[in-house]
Amino acid sequence: QVQVAESGGGLVQAGGSLRLSCIASGSSFSVDHTDWYRQPPGKQREWVAGMPGSGVTSVTGRFTVSRDKAKNAVNLEIDSLKPEDTGVYYCNIRGWRSIRGTLSPFDIWGQGTQVTVSS
């Protein structure tokens, strides 16, 4: 079974930066794509940034996704934080896992980590 967990959220001041981590755990799996989403208070979940499984770094505006191979983690760094960046940030991983020699796709979400940006 593959699991994913986010960490690194917290309360930060506007203008600062924050790094969130997404760590996948399990056995016999490969990742096709990792995406970060967020859900602002009272709003729908929205895509923030992402990277293919073979990627190293991806930049989308103020958001940088990078891979930490040593920790098997995909990080999201947010620069120049704004109050509107406040929300719960989720990691989504899609890939394949081997179960008794048979490849099966998976698409899993973490439980999210809260980011609150004060003005």
**Contact by Cβ (8 Å): 53, 69:** no
DSSP letter for each residue of 31-72:
EEEEEEEEE-TTS--EEEEEEETT-SEEEETTEEEEEEGGGT
- Mean pLDDT, range 6-17, rounded to an integer: 96
Predicted pLDDT at 69? 84
Taking only the tens place, the pLDDT of each residue in 39-69 is 999 999 999 999 988 888 888 899 999 998 8
Residues 6+ apart with CB under 8 A from 101: none
Predicted pLDDT at 8? 97
Residue type, 75: N
State the pLDDT confidence band at 29, using cuts at 50, 70 and 90. very high
